């Protein structure tokens, strides 16, 4: 599918903005970004993997983004770069249509006293902005959002429909918060007392850094005492649960349905696969990749890729199984050492 037309760029303009080496007509007009298969005249597409070369031969695009080593793969006008997928992402931003609504406060919005809303901000219908809440310049709050008392939202951020930001929580600059997100609800803090649960008041905040994107229906709990912190550049997919007092390091990305239990610290530049589970009070080092559906029960102290899960079992049995698995390398080495000591049987 192609993107809607926003404006026309000449190929030379794109290279001037984004870099890369241009081969071909710099005046070729580009209207859209498209896939190799669906592209037609006026479209710019990209080849990110050699297995799609057959589509490159048949494409009707006006120009193609290629890796430098693919410079002779087509006669079409082309932009050569180090990473075609990243270049495509940046080019797509140029063509994204700007749907920013007209600034102002809708007549059906409720704004409490002492809330600070600049003239450049937009507040949609059905919103409630609490007492003392502060919106930055050019913030967009879509329909039916709730911004709690003394909450703060940084400039150029956008909240989709029905987002809830609890009191005193902080969202940084240029955040993109999709529909249904809840930021700052109580963490799951309970103390057992004679067969009953005593609720522990959650008095911290949820603090979201700059350039963070949070997917639809994701929930980020406020801290029990200290804050829950999502650092700059973090990207969270849909339907993720972040427990209280968690800290996620800068530029970490997490896929859908992952869950992080309370007080865990995740490093910077990590990648967490879909439906991964990380139990509480762990530390995950920088540059760690956790595969989809993995269950992390122990801190990870070194960068690398980690995977694995086990079916549920009685707790003692499960712990014994895990202990045996962790001993396999040592046991294998012992067996090999023993085999070397055994006398070799000669064939008759």
The dihedral built from the CA positions of residue 100, 103, 105 and 111, taken in this order, carries a sign that is positive
Active site residue 244: yes
DSSP 8-state symbol, 346:
P
Task: Judge residue 30's burial from the number of C-beta atoms within 10 Å of its C-beta, 0-12 exposed, 13-18 middle, 19 or more buried.
Answer: buried
Nearest Cα residue to 115 out of 143, 149, 154: 149
Catalytic residue among 49, 244, 287, 324: 244
SS3 string of 22-66?
EECCCCCEECEECCCCCCCCCEEEECCCHHHHHHHHHCCCCEEEE
Q: 33-41, long-range: CB within 8 Å, 24+ apart, which pairs?
A: 33/2, 33/3, 33/88, 33/91, 33/92, 33/95, 34/1, 34/2, 34/3, 34/61, 35/1, 36/61, 36/64, 38/1, 38/2, 39/2
C-alpha span between 219 and 209 (Å, rounded) = 16
DSSP 8-state symbol, 289:
E
What is the helix (H) or strand (E) element at residue 328, kind and residue range?
A: helix 328-341
DSSP 8-state symbol, 70:
G
- Find tokens 């007509």 and name the residue: 25
Residue 14, classed as helix, strand or coil, is: helix
C-alpha span between 54 and 51 (Å, rounded) = 7
**Which residues belong to the active site?**
244
């Amino acid at each position: 599918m192609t993107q809607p037309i926003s404006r026309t760029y000449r190929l030379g303009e794109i290279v001037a903005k984004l870099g890369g080496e241009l081969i071909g007509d710099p005046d070729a007009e580009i209207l859209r970004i498209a896939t190799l298969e669906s592209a037609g005249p006026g479209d710019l597409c990209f080849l990110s993997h050699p297995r799609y070369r057959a589509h490159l031969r048949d494409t009707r695009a006006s120009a193609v983004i290629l890796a430098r080593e693919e410079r002779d793969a087509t006669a079409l006008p082309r932009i050569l770069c180090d990473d075609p997928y990243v270049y495509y992402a940046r080019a797509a931003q140029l063509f994204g249509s700007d749907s920013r609504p007209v600034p102002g406060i809708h007549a059906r919005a409720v704004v409490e006293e002492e809330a600070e809303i600049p003239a450049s901000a937009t507040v949609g219908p059905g919103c409630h902005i609490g007492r003392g809440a502060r919106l930055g310049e050019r913030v967009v709050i879509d329909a039916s959002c709730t911004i709690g008392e003394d909450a703060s939202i940084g400039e150029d951020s956008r909240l989709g429909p029905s987002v809830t930001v609890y009191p005193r929580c902080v969202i940084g600059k240029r955040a993109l918060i999709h529909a249904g997100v809840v930021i700052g609800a109580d963490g799951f803090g309970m103390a057992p007392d004679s067969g009953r649960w005593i609720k522990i008041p959650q008095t911290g905040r949820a603090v979201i850094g700059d350039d963070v994107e949070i997917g639809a229906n994701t929930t980020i709990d406020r801290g029990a005492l200290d804050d829950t912190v999502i650092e700059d550049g973090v990207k969270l997919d849909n339907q993720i649960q972040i427990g209280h007092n968690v800290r996620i390091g800068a530029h970490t990305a997490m896929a859908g349905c992952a869950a992080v239990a309370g007080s865990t610290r995740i490093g910077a530049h990590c990648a967490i696969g879909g439906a991964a589970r990380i139990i509480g009070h762990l530390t995950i080092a920088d540059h760690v990749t956790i595969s989809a559906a993995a269950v992390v029960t122990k801190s990870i102290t070194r960068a690398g890729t980690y995977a694995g899960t086990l079916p549920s079992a009685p707790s003692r049995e499960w712990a014994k199984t895990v202990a045996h698995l962790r001993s396999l390398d040592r046991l294998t080495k012992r067996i090999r050492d023993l085999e070397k000591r055994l006398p070799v049987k000669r064939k008759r």
